Structure 1
């Protein structure tokens, strides 16, 4: 078998990979999307299934009002003492001098829970991970944030002992153990004890084209640490033609037979035909995905990526891999027959509840609330773009009370960058179809006075989005067979980390497609959706 990268397509960044017996788990960042921390599992490192999302209640995660690309940064999953341990960061401030955040710890005997109540650890810095030493002691290592304008905000990696009995960190033990290299922006640390050394794996260079992973080691946990010569361990900064880009932040795992693999975030840029493919290097609407590279140890006991530090698209699977059955494509059809949303659906910041609507009996009902720019009160469910080419289709019934009420099919990056096709009312009181885009907060209607009037006998309207790499479109139908295209070509660049990074401080997620109902008049108009289909 071959590992075909990326193994997790669509927005799955900051992978924390572990092995428990013969099963591998990857936990990934979810930022402002709820539920928090997606976990995939596999027995062969090739085929992966979503098994759970750990932070599935407000007790475990309350993100109401969090900024875009705030929330869950770089969760750390580990296994020790017969249970799973999860350290996660909830970031409350993204832009500016400060990164206000809280780090928490939860545990469970089963990956699917129940998980313990969260223990608040500290707010020293994000990307915290827990190291379980051979003597039973435990330590938190984390990026350290410095708000002072005369210092680099990434002020090294801090190691602090964790007291299991009192369930608290011991701040008097805190020590900066590694400051990274001149590349700066050292973050995402993990510690491993291998070959008689303590190895720190840490990301550097920011989660952009300069991203990389550096490795340092010491005979003593608290250092001093020596940086790997002839590094970095993995990067694509100097491999601009490679299929994979941005590899760096990730984690290491050993197979039962002694092979080593490294899971890393990565991205696959697209380009406009008119662009130099090196500058800009491209646009990644699928966000930061997950790749897996094979690792060997050189004669000096330093880890190296097979095929060179740029990594490979195809990687040999472990010799002891156990075939794992998994879906062959990302295609899905949801008829909303269950009274709970499928695990691939996500909401913004808070869980789906009766305040937003309900599902079951063959329909999804959404109650119109805040706009798609609202960070507190939207009625919006969405799932990741996982392919460069796909179509999504839905069928909606909606009788808006006015132009402030809208319901339809949306493509979304964050509250400042999205588009949709929807039913609303015009000034003459007709139900009409319109499309619109929000680009860096600037809202533009596609049809305006030429909005499509809905026939009085059309109870249901079909909506479709067609995605073709960087181009995407919206279509509508009155019978589900004959389709009409909105005469606007939308640019998926606007739904990418790279575009948002050009003018905004948070840029860590990816494009989503989903269903929304808006009624900012406050009259709570209700929309019904009969199905949702993602076609590859």
Structure 2
């Protein structure tokens, strides 16, 4: 079988939920505050994946305006009961503090492309919900982690189970905490399976950072009691800080038609001495097997493997291809925006991408920011913007963005006299102090008329902006910046929300309330090849001065 290199979904694609319907595989991943919600990828062979839809695409299904960074859609579960697809998800409203406001919903569709039903509210007792279809008696069971705001003895209180009645559209019958997890704690992300008369729980434990793990337990009754796996954690990299795939955990399993079993799981690839995962939390895959003792084991595990035998080889042509987006009719599927279910208020596609200036780039409500995931450790990005600001409260340009506390932003703006200039913004803000650092460089005057080319080059941990008028040669602006600050690790160290990933895109703000338009002619994303090292990948081309 061909050897494929992990991850299979590079860039910000965490918390995978996988299923197979006949010969088609689907993976659903978390999107947090990025809209539309939930990424669903499709594959025929487990090696080659293509984004096919984001189902939470209207206000009745998802509205995240006002949601803090790294809230929104957490850990969806995609399943199929033989006749239709089911998607359960959390729309998290609060992250920090004792309370978690985590309403859980269910929606369904006969086709993966939809239309998806109006959502059914289920509960708010915890997050990371899943739906198990017991094909023997037709019952459906809803499971989620149980949050205890009192912290007695811990906030992560275990796995809560209750029957779901699809005809009544609500939970029915008794509710029970069926498994409190192992001593590693922080038990979440449950999936339930049935095999050979056993009910199995596969859960994430240890938190979604360096101690992350996939843990398993089983019982003859769905209500328990559950006994833990002999290894406790069937997959983890917590005991090997030098393995390439770190943070391994939060998984789900799938069988191939030939009877092989695979586990998809969350992972991160830290690089550099500071071990920062610039590409966020990604999705990897491992081959697993059922042993004679009816327990599941990871082949060559429990440490995750960088290279895995899959049914087919991977074609990396698309992954390494340069993409030039011209925004002719629709927003390309690679792009998302933040929080709002009303995209017509922030952009339109009309032979170019037109952004309407709204709130600041760090707003939690309505900002005109359209971006795509950073999926490579090294890349070049470029755009051409037509924008005529009146003063310093109107600005638009190119951004490398993690969240409101961590971004770089090269903007076309103006000073109070109305003359246009370029301003390079740098925000790295511990403890949610989203304060603009001292300008990375003095503002640069530019002609009052004419389109402006804005570009950035990222080579691993180094980032550099450049600019030119439309037909001029690019000139570097500002110092070499630290791209690794756009990472989960920095968000965590700064007291923030370490759950998303780096994006690159365009934005526009108009704090005068006039919604002044910025037109972007194209957006270029050019991957740069790299070589591997013990942590995953380092770059070998395109020096930054």
Report if the CA contact (8 A) 2:60-2:118 is conserved: yes
CA drift at 1:399: 0.7
In the other structure, the counterpart of 1:477 is: 468
Alignment of 1:108-507 (within 5 A): 108-133=109-134, 134-170=136-172, 172-271=173-272, 275=273, 282-318=275-311, 327-329=318-320, 331-338=322-329, 340-351=330-341, 353-360=343-350, 362-440=351-429, 441-446=434-439, 450-456=442-448, 458-480=449-471, 482-507=473-498
Say how many residue pairs are matched. Answer: 521
User: Which consecutive residues of structure 1, in runs of 5 or more, have no partner in the other structure?
Assistant: none
- Distance in 1 between the 2:220 and 2:410 partners? 59
Report if the CA contact (8 A) 2:450-2:470 is conserved: no
- Distance in 1 between the 2:168 and 2:10 partners? 40
CA drift at 1:480: 5.0
Rate the CA distance shift 1:294–1:481 in 2: closer, same or farther, 3 A. farther
- Per-residue CA deviation, residues 301-347 of structure 1 (Å, 9 max, x unaligned), is 211111221111111113xx598897242632111111x21111111
CA drift at 1:150: 4.1
- Distance in 2 between the 1:270 and 1:322 partners? 26
- Distance in 2 between the 1:330 and 1:293 partners? 26
In the other structure, the counterpart of 1:92 is: 93
- TM-score, normalized by length of structure 1? 0.94
Report if the CA contact (8 A) 1:423-1:433 is conserved: yes
In the other structure, the counterpart of 2:44 is: 43
- Distance in 1 between the 2:100 and 2:319 partners? 40
Moved more, 150-159 or 182-191: 150-159
- Distance in 2 between the 1:489 and 1:214 partners? 42
- TM-score, normalized by length of structure 2? 0.93
SS of aligned partner of 1:36: coil
- Per-residue CA deviation, residues 158-213 of structure 1 (Å, 9 max, x unaligned), is 1101112211102x411111111111100000001123211100000000000001
- Distance in 1 between the 2:403 and 2:64 partners? 15
- Distance in 2 between the 1:453 and 1:241 partners? 48
CA drift at 1:353: 2.6
- Per-residue CA deviation, residues 400-442 of structure 1 (Å, 9 max, x unaligned), is 0100110000011111211110111124432001101111212
Report if the CA contact (8 A) 2:3-2:313 is conserved: no
CA drift at 1:2: 2.6
SS of aligned partner of 2:61: coil
- Per-residue CA deviation, residues 270-305 of structure 1 (Å, 9 max, x unaligned), is 11xxx3xxxx5x111211000010001223121111
